[in-house]
Structure 1
Amino acid sequence: MTLRESYIQGLIDLLAAIPSFPAGVHRSMSVAFSREDSPALIVHRGAEDIENSLGDDTERHCEILISVVSRGDAPDQEADEVMEIAHPAIMQFSAPGLYLVEEVGTNAPVFAGADGNACMVTTRYKVHYCTSRLSLGA
Structure 2
Amino acid sequence: MTTKREAMAQGVLQALQAAPTLQQLGLVFSRSLFAALDMRTTKRVLVVHHGQEQMGAESTAEIDRHAELLITVVSRDADPDAISEATLALVHPVVMAFTDPALIDIAELGTDTPSYDNLGGIVGARTVHYDLFYRTSRDSLSA
In the superposition, the TM-score normalised over structure 1's length comes to 0.94
2:61 pairs, out of 50, 53, 56, with 56
Which piece of structure 1 moves more, 111-120 or 20-29? 111-120
User: What is the rounded CA distance, in whole Å, between the counterparts of 1:24 and 1:40 in structure 2?
Assistant: 5
| 2:5–2:67 Cα contact (<8 Å) kept | yes
SS at match of 1:77: helix
User: How many pairs align?
Assistant: 138
Gaps of 5+ in 2: none
SS at match of 2:116: strand
Q: 1:19 Cα deviation (Å)?
A: 1.6
In structure 2, the partner of 1:2 is: 3
1:42 pairs, out of 12, 32, 47, with 47
The C-alpha deviation readout for 1:8-66, integer Å capped at 9, x for no partner, is: 10011110111251221110112212222121110000000002433310000000000
| 2:29–2:45 Cα contact (<8 Å) kept | yes
1:27 pairs, out of 31, 53, 68, with 31
How much is the aligned-residue C-alpha RMSD, in angstroms?
1.6
Q: Residues 5 and 115 (structure 1 numbering): CA distance in 2 closer, same or farther, change over 3 Å? A: closer
The C-alpha deviation readout for 1:66-113, integer Å capped at 9, x for no partner, is: 010001121011001111111001011010110111000000000111
In the superposition, the TM-score normalised over structure 2's length comes to 0.90
Gaps of 5+ in 1: none
Q: Which amino acid aligns with 2:5?
A: R
Identity %: 34
Q: Which amino acid aligns with 1:12?
A: L
What pairs up with 1:91-130 in 2 under 5 angstroms?
A: 91-113=96-118, 117-130=122-135
Q: Which portions of structure 1, spanning 4 or more consecutive aligned residues, are displaced by more than 6 angstroms?
A: none
In structure 1, the partner of 2:136 is: 131
